[in-house]
Amino acid sequence: MSIEAKIRAYIAENFLFGEADQLAVTDSFLDKGIIDSTGILEIVMFLEEQFGVKVADSEMLPENLDSIGNIVKFIEKKSGSK
Amino acid sequence: MKPQRLLHEALQFSAARAGNAGKVAVVVEGKPYTYGDLLDQALRLSAALRSRGLTRGDRVAIYMDNTWPCIVSLYATLLAGGVFSIVNPQTKADKLEFILNDSSARILLTDGHLAKEFLPALPLVRQPLTVIASGQLPASPQIEAFDEVVRNTSPGEASREIIPLDLAALIYTSGSTGNPKGVMQTHQSMVFAAGSLIEYLRLSEEDRILCVLPLAFDYGLYQLLMAIQLGATLVLERSFTYPAQIFARMQEQRVTVFPGVPTIYAMLISSHGRAPLSFPGVTRVTNTAAALPDEFVVKLREIFPNTLIFKMYGLTECKRVSYLEPELADQKPGSVGRAIPGTEIYLLSPDGKPVPPGETGILHVRGPHVMVGYWNRPDLSEHMLKPGKLPGERVLCTQDFFRMDAEGFLYFQGRSDDIIKTRGEKVSPVEVENALHSIAGVREAAVVGIADPLLGEAIRAYVVVEPEANLNDKQLRVACAARLENFMVPKEFVLCKELPKTATGKVSKKLLLQQSAPA
């Protein structure tokens, strides 16, 4: 599974509850109202476990985490720089 | 000098003060807007609302995130003589429809990204409704573009008909009966409440107040009202979802006032545990909605080394009841303090007799900040507003149990209803149960709050499903998320064969909790 597919599956399962087809790669999680402050911590934990990266508190920003596309870019950057 | 009587006069006066037109009134996600900008845009939109038929006392629903258009909409409504109601942007179509109909709103101001929820609600609204949306518009001839409407209308004048006794806002809050109820607040009450809060929080026009709380929540709303009344600056963020962004903004914007709820403080403290945080510029930290644990206070002093910490208590029906002076925190542990300036509080027994110091009674609140009542709900108003000391006067009976010491300091003892407080938000178990009952295949449901370190209380749903329905907890969560605001969606679902009943056949929540105490 690609990074995007894994992330989409996780978001679908845990936040969209199965309706992930409707979520475009660039859709903002905040705009879609699907993630709140406790949700973002769960996503970070998932990324750390699934991709073996360490997410610093200072990286918990919309540009890294607020859409499927942003997360993919963020994970690629983190994995590449390891 | 002309005294401030109306809520929007705060904006007019602050913008007119020497040198203030160019002062930054609000910073929205990093973007500054001056008092001059705010008054100009609000007067334009206000004229546009009037030209679309808004008259004195008409309701305007503002279904928006914490954005610049939301703030412009609020002041435009007031300047036009209307009554605003800010609806939480997490609200789903059914509840939005309820609020639009209940308030018989004449105008809906919203944002394009919420179209998925507001479009299905529109055909069900009984009265003619003008819809103006910011951002990207959905394809619908009924909807006008916010920016164009503002740009294409010349600034008008403030309505001259409004007096302080007119309604300024309907603030919808969860009710124990399931449907939200609109708390009616007048200009006079809100101007008074904002002034009282400003006084005890010792705020000044130099302050830079952070707001990460939804403006639909009165605690968030008053950060804006206080900032504008002071001629200070509000630093508005959409939410606390991305804490790193908030921390950076606090530094960059030199925030001096940090209002939060325990869930936010828990996240702040946990972040501080991983990488130390320090905001020496913050001089006031405020907490309400749920009790701030003592161990939090110790950590908050590390994070905010120069701050006063205010513990407070309130309810939308009178905005705020009490606050504890920070200097007395050590002397009065566990207390939420005394009445806010200009108001009075006392305890009565269930049969209306005074309660001696140290004993538990029902909290009553007297003051200009008390609501007029609930919109369209005289029965519920009757329950909360009781005859007061003077003929014709009504005082607020909070229905909450407190103890008061001889010096008038309050200690919370418990609620008389079963409202759940989660993440600082009130949730009606009935509203969640109604949502569960509307799911095909659900036979019975009961919802309770259980203690949770991060959320205060977490929502747990006990559900009995029809044998052939084959519903699991994921499907129940999907169905709930489609019907309820995020914070109302149960965290846990417990599937049961049946629910325990009392002798009269009602579901016994007490027995439920006993039976399924987590291992």
Per-window interface: B 194-223 vs A, CB < 8 A: none
B354 class by beta-carbon count within 10 Å (0-12 exposed, 13-18 middle, 19+ buried): exposed
pLDDT at residue B53 tops 50? yes
pLDDT at residue A46 tops 90? yes
Closest chain B residue to A33, measured at CA: B90
Per-window interface: B 415-434 vs A, CB < 8 A: 423
Residue listed under structure tokens 């209306």: B352
Q: Supply the pLDDT for residue B516.
A: 63
Q: What percent of chain B is predicted at pLDDT more than 90?
A: 78
Q: What's the whole-number mean pLDDT along residues B22-27?
A: 97
Closest chain A residue to B135, measured at CA: A31
Each residue of B133-152: pLDDT tens digit? 999 998 888 899 999 999 99
A60:B242 CB<8 A: yes
pTM for the model: 0.91
Q: Which residues contact B65 (CB under 8 A, 6 or more apart)?
A: A30, B89, B111, B214, B238
Closest chain B residue to A58, measured at CA: B244
Q: Mutation test of the interface with chain B: which of A13, A36, A43, choosing the one with the most B Cβ atoms within 10 A? A: A36
Are the CB atoms for B190 and B370 separated by under 8 Å?
no
B179 class by beta-carbon count within 10 Å (0-12 exposed, 13-18 middle, 19+ buried): middle
Q: Which of A32, A37, A56 sits opposite B241 (nearest CB)?
A: A37
Q: Which of B241, B455, B474 sits opposite A35 (nearest CB)?
A: B241
pLDDT at residue A8 tops 50? yes
Cβ neighbours, 10 Å, residue B324: 25
SS3 B169: strand
Q: What's the whole-number mean pLDDT along residues B63-84?
A: 98
B243:A37 CB<8 A: yes
pLDDT at residue B177 tops 80? no
Contact residues of A toward B, CB < 8 A: 13, 17-19, 28, 30-41, 56-62, 65-66
Q: Mind telling me how many Å the CA of A4 is from chain B's nearest CA? A: 21
B345 class by beta-carbon count within 10 Å (0-12 exposed, 13-18 middle, 19+ buried): buried
Q: Supply the pLDDT for residue B264.
A: 92
Paired with B11 in beta bridges are: none
User: Average per-residue pLDDT in chain B?
Assistant: 94
Q: Supply the pLDDT for residue A57.
A: 87
**Residue A81 confidence class, pLDDT cut points 50, 70, 90:** low
pLDDT at residue A20 tops 60? no
Each residue of B97-115: pLDDT tens digit? 999 999 999 999 999 999 9
SS3 B514: helix
B477:A38 CB<8 A: no
In 3-state terms chain B splits into helix, strand, coil percentages (rounded to 5) of: 35, 25, 40
Measured CA to CA, the distance from residue B162 to residue B168 in angstroms comes to 9
Q: What's the whole-number mean pLDDT along residues B292-309?
A: 93
Largest interatomic CA distance in chain B: 73
Q: Which residues contact B443 (CB under 8 A, 6 or more apart)?
A: B464, B465, B466
- On chain B, the residues whose CB falls within 8 A of the CB of A31 are 113
Q: Does B264 touch chain A (CB under 8 A)?
A: yes
B462 closest CA partner among B472, B451, B447 = B447
* DSSP of B102-164: HTT-SEEEEEGGGHHHHHHHGGG-SS--EEEEESSPPS-TTEEEHHHHHHTS------SS--T
Each residue of B394-412: pLDDT tens digit? 999 999 999 999 999 999 9
B454:A33 CB<8 A: no
Q: Supply the pLDDT for residue A82.
A: 47
Are the CB atoms for B219 and B288 separated by under 8 Å?
yes
A57:B271 CB<8 A: yes
Measured CA to CA, the distance from residue B119 to residue B258 in angstroms comes to 36
Cα atoms in the Cβ-side hemisphere of radius 13 Å centred on B38: 36
CA A25 to chain centre: 11
B90:A33 CB<8 A: yes
**Residue B190 confidence class, pLDDT cut points 50, 70, 90:** very high
Q: Which residues contact B364 (CB under 8 A, 6 or more apart)?
A: B345, B346, B347, B348, B386, B395, B396, B397, B398
pLDDT at residue B203 tops 50? yes
Q: Which of B264, B267, B486 sits opposite A33 (nearest CB)?
A: B486
Q: Which residues contact B506 (CB under 8 A, 6 or more apart)?
A: none
> What is the number of helices (H) and of strands (E) in chain B?
15, 27
Each residue of B320-343: pLDDT tens digit? 999 999 999 999 999 999 999 999
Closest chain A residue to B273, measured at CA: A57
- On chain A, the residues whose CB falls within 8 A of the CB of B113 are 28, 31-32
Predicted complex: ipTM over 0.95 = no
B496 closest CA partner among B474, B519, B471, B475 = B471
Phi, psi (rounded to 5 degrees) for B495: -85, 130
B247 residue type, one letter: F
Q: Supply the pLDDT for residue A17.
A: 56
Q: Which of A18, A56, A59 sits opposite B478 (nearest CB)?
A: A18
In eight-state DSSP terms, residue B360 is: E
pLDDT at residue B66 tops 50? yes
A62:B477 CB<8 A: no
Number of A–B residue contacts, CB under 8 Å = 60
Q: Does B481 touch chain A (CB under 8 A)?
A: yes
Q: Does B89 touch chain A (CB under 8 A)?
A: yes
- On chain A, the residues whose CB falls within 8 A of the CB of B93 are none
- On chain A, the residues whose CB falls within 8 A of the CB of B241 are 30, 35-37, 39-40
pLDDT at residue B517 tops 60? no
Q: What's the whole-number mean pLDDT along residues A21-47?
A: 83
A40:B263 CB<8 A: no
Measured CA to CA, the distance from residue A58 to residue A49 in angstroms comes to 19
Q: How many residues does chain A have?
A: 82
Closest chain B residue to A44, measured at CA: B242
Task: Show the 3-state SS of B247-276.
Answer: HHHHHHCCCCEEEECHHHHHHHHHHHHHCC
Q: How many residues does chain B have?
A: 519
